Structure 1
Amino acid sequence: MYFSFARTTAYISTLLKLLSEQSPETLASLQDIDVFVLPDHISLVSVISQLRHHDNPSPVPILVGAQDAFYEDAGAFTGEVSPAMLAEVGCRILELGHAERRRLFGETDDIAANKAAAAARNGISPLVCVGERTRPPIIDTTGSEGGILDTKTALSEISAQVETVLNALPHSANVILAYEPVWAIGAAAPASAPYVVAVVRAIRELECVCRRPMGSTRILYGGSAGPGLFSKLKDSVDGLFLGRFAHDPEQFVKTILEIAAA
């Protein structure tokens, strides 16, 4: 709820302009990554239309997703948004389980799982936010960047979130896990790279992840993510999930180009 409708429209226009200014070689490299934006529900259909405009379409594929939806496709659920309708208008990704949804609206792992299942049955990829709420204790003060944090403490909380959602999905469903340590969201700096790498590798080793088909589960890092970060994490994460750093389209494009180059 940071952007107005007018600002969202202007943002997409600027994004398209910045991408169109890239060299053919750069644009070719962007075909190998997935770029997505998640506008508010009111702006979503307009954004899809902007990106598909026949006179000035996006020079690279950009997926459009929603920030939330209900877990039923239709019925007497006043005020909710149907995942079936989102799929009908071209929504490709559904964000769910964000820390704000959990904190402000009491959403649980079970609710996130129901929403993920609703997305999957409508052909939408669920993007599930997972992460520990409290900064873990330091277990080794000799490490760099303020010491080494205890990844086992974090994983005990994260594993329940991941398992509940994946157990609700068919094995064939593609799912995106957005690892966001809640204590790092909005912070001046992200969690340290060694810590993120260790946590993400531990998530990949969870039994519920290992038994799914190769490539069906991708893991992004969020939590004060921005330009200059992906190169430090590329050996463990599949991409970044940007928040406020992406409010500037130039920074967003810079990050996209960094990921493509890496």
Structure 2
Amino acid sequence: MAKVTVGVSLKMYFGHRQAATWFDEVAARIRAHEAVQSGAVELFLTPTFLQVLPAIAAFAGTPVRIGGQDVAAADSGAFTGEVSASELAEVGASIAEIGHAERRRLFAETDEIVAAKTAAALRAGLTPLLCIGETERQDPADAAAVAVDQLHASLTGAPAGAVIIAYEPVWAIGAPEPAPHDHIRIVAAALRAALDADADRAGSAVIYGGAAGPGLLTALGDEVDGVFLGRFAHDPDALVAVLDEAAQLAGRRSEEHA
């Protein structure tokens, strides 16, 4: 696909006031960013649940998509502390981040829980942002097999709909450098092939996260559909630098497909 996707997870780094300031600073830059405004580059953000509404307000009138960092597996009911997919959709969110390595490690989320959350998101019309990745560094072919198995498990019982796969090898999250380019290419290609073989996943994307930063999109070219950023994007200027890089890649893809 010609479109290039750039995502940002704010995790729990920002307080409410700091997040609001960041939203305003980024939104001002986005309104002047031709590639984002045209849709050639798709930007999505996943702030904390309390920050979802301020984010939606700050980016009103732009194509920026806002999502939650998690979602309940159930549609409704007596689930204290949970946030349903339907409520996220009701307030204007369009993405639900599901299955991040931290959710698996800290909150004991299993493949079955991830699959239930994926199904709930799709039922509500949200795009699941499925976090996929091996826990330990290994041969790229072996890592690809693990990633594809995780993908299939995450989609078990899920209704039709596009998904965004964030390939994040756990050993690269927070590391000084991303995974080697050849490693990313091999795993991303396997994930893309698995999605292409599933008629229910038309329009899906495979992006890379895990110490992602400037230069990575240019180096990977058509091997991924975008990148998923973390703390690097806390600096709005740094985020715009990646968006500029994404714009160049999207422009080249459009020329090739013309």
User: Per-residue deviation at 1:218?
Assistant: 0.8
The one-letter code of the counterpart of 2:118 is A
- Partner residue of 1:12 out of 23, 29, 32: 23
C-alpha distance in 2 between matches for 1:90 and 1:102: 27
User: Per-residue deviation at 1:239?
Assistant: 0.7
Aligned length: 238
Deviation string, structure 1 residues 36-79 (Cα, Å, up to 9, x no partner): 11110011111111211xxxx44xx1000000011112100011
Deviation string, structure 1 residues 18-37 (Cα, Å, up to 9, x no partner): 23445xxx347742221111
Q: Secondary structure at the match of 1:205?
A: helix
The answer to whether the aligner puts 1:118 opposite 2:120 as a matched pair is yes
Partner in structure 1 of residue 81 of structure 2 = 79
Residue ranges of structure 2 left out of the alignment (5+ in a row):
1-11, 250-258
Partner in structure 2 of residue 151 of structure 1 = 140
Q: Percent identity?
A: 42
Larger Rg, first or second structure (1 or 2): 1
**Higher-RCO chain (CA-CA 8 Å, sequence separation at least 6):** 2
User: TM-score of the superposition, structure 2-length normalised?
Assistant: 0.87
Partner in structure 1 of residue 14 of structure 2 = 3
Q: Mapping of 1:15-54 within 5 angstroms? A: 15-22=26-33, 26-27=34-35, 30-52=38-60
- Residue pair 2:163, 2:201 contacting (<8 A) in 1 also: no
The one-letter code of the counterpart of 1:9 is A
Q: Mapping of 1:1-262 within 5 angstroms? A: 1-22=12-33, 26-27=34-35, 30-52=38-60, 57-58=61-62, 61-136=63-138, 150-171=139-160, 173-206=161-194, 209-212=196-199, 215-262=202-249
- Residue pair 1:131, 1:158 contacting (<8 A) in 2 also: yes
The one-letter code of the counterpart of 1:169 is A
User: Per-residue deviation at 1:246?
Assistant: 1.0
Q: Secondary structure at the match of 1:235?
A: helix
User: Per-residue deviation at 1:213?
Assistant: 5.2
Partner in structure 1 of residue 3 of structure 2 = none
Deviation string, structure 1 residues 152-210 (Cα, Å, up to 9, x no partner): 22123212210012232223x0111100010000000001111101111122233x641
**Is the alpha carbon distance of 1:13 and 1:123 closer, same or farther for their aligned partners in structure 2, counting shifts above 3 Å?**
same
C-alpha distance in 2 between matches for 1:62 and 1:193: 28
C-alpha distance in 2 between matches for 1:191 and 1:130: 14
User: Per-residue deviation at 1:120?
Assistant: 0.4
C-alpha distance in 2 between matches for 1:259 and 1:154: 26
C-alpha distance in 2 between matches for 1:245 and 1:113: 29
C-alpha distance in 1 between matches for 2:199 and 2:221: 21
- Residue pair 1:30, 1:260 contacting (<8 A) in 2 also: no
The one-letter code of the counterpart of 1:211 is D
User: TM-score of the superposition, structure 1-length normalised?
Assistant: 0.86
- Residue pair 1:96, 1:112 contacting (<8 A) in 2 also: yes
The one-letter code of the counterpart of 2:88 is L
- Residue pair 2:89, 2:126 contacting (<8 A) in 1 also: yes
- Residue pair 2:36, 2:43 contacting (<8 A) in 1 also: no
The one-letter code of the counterpart of 1:63 is R
Deviating beyond 3 angstroms after TM superposition, the runs of 4 or more aligned structure 1 residues are 26-30
- Residue pair 1:29, 1:260 contacting (<8 A) in 2 also: no
